[in-house]
Amino acid sequence: MESLNMCLAGGLDELGILEKFKLNTLIHHWRDVVGPIYAGHTRIIDIKPPKIVLSADNSQWMQEVKMNQKRILKAINDYYQGEIITEMGLMMHRQSFVKESSSPEIYHIEMPDIEGYIDMSKIILSDDDINVIDNMVNKISDDTLKDTFRNVIISSRKKEIYLLEHGYHRCERCRILMNRATKHCVTCEYEIHREHINNIKRQIRRIPYIKYKECCKYINCTFDDFAMAMRELIYFYLDKVYHGSTSRNHMYMAAMLITHKKPEELTDQHVINLCNKHRSKFLSEEKQKELNMLKGILE
């Protein structure tokens, strides 16, 4: 009963669509996963675990990607929080363009084709299931539409029952069906992990010079997770500094995170020097003037 409501909650969720969609969220996070330079010259063409297909701008970039294949696969699997992708296919961008326009594979959602070889009439829905379905479709006034809708829901529910009987189970968090032997689906695992990292970051923001041992008093985390949170915060503030920020808060945050020193242990000069090391050499003239002025005031 409950599972049927869940199934219908998101409209007519076809089984597996979400799982597939979630795998493809990598496309939107590609820049973060491989970094802006690689992301600028490569594109994801297809993701079908255990394989990912990428395209690269030209033969130099093909070479570059090949040489760094291990590192890229690791970054991808770090994103998915599991060994999801172990193989990489590679093609030149021009070829991929042809392929893409003729068959938009990325957007094609695969679901187990069970109607073809399973006798759906042998799967019997319970009275409860039928009642819920009837209640749903009774709101529709057009009879033809009502029948169509009813049949779609019934067949969707039958597929669900079939899959549940054949090794599929629900993600405990988002309830989608999957055949992965884990409590949560790939996306939920990723989201849970991100929530955890963000909580650690919140803690570190409160005490930016905090060290791992002390952080553990406030939040239960592994050293790797702590290091990841720390790294992301350092990148965040260094990025501000790199792009010319002269905010005292940004500069002190970066300095405290990097040195683990308390604000009273740092001098303005120390902080400025540290930040200048990380400042882009390509800032606009105006930004540069602003920085020089700041330097003048402090010296």
What's the closest the beta carbon of residue 32 comes to Zn ion, in angstroms? 21
Locate all alpha helices (DSSP H) within the chain, ordered by sequence. 2-9, 17-23, 25-28, 30-34, 36-41, 59-67, 69-80, 93-102, 127-137, 143-165, 186-206, 212-218, 223-242, 248-259, 268-278, 285-298
Closest to Zn ion by CB, 15 vs 45, is 15
Closest to Zn ion by CB, 173 vs 201, is 173
Closest to Zn ion by CB, 87 vs 195, is 195
Can you tell me the distance from the alpha carbon of 129 to that of 125, in angstroms, rounded to the nearest whole number? 6
Q: Exposed, middle or buried: residue 124 (CB in 10 Å: 0-12, 13-18, 19+)?
A: exposed
Nearest by Cα to 279 from 242, 245, 247, 250: 242
Closest to Zn ion by CB, 178 vs 255, is 178
What residue ranges bind Zn ion (CB under 5 A)? 171, 173-174, 185, 188
What's the closest the beta carbon of residue 201 comes to Zn ion, in angstroms? 23
What's the closest the beta carbon of residue 86 comes to Zn ion, in angstroms? 22
What's the closest the beta carbon of residue 2 comes to Zn ion, in angstroms? 16
3-state secondary structure of 47: strand
Closest to Zn ion by CB, 170 vs 240, is 170
What's the closest the beta carbon of residue 47 comes to Zn ion, in angstroms? 17
Q: Report whether the peptide linkage leading into residue 50 is cis, meaning its omega lies within 30 degrees of zero.
A: yes
What's the closest the beta carbon of residue 245 comes to Zn ion, in angstroms? 38
Can you tell me the distance from the alpha carbon of 191 to that of 184, in angstroms, rounded to the nearest whole number? 10
DSSP tag of 221: -
Closest to Zn ion by CB, 76 vs 188, is 188
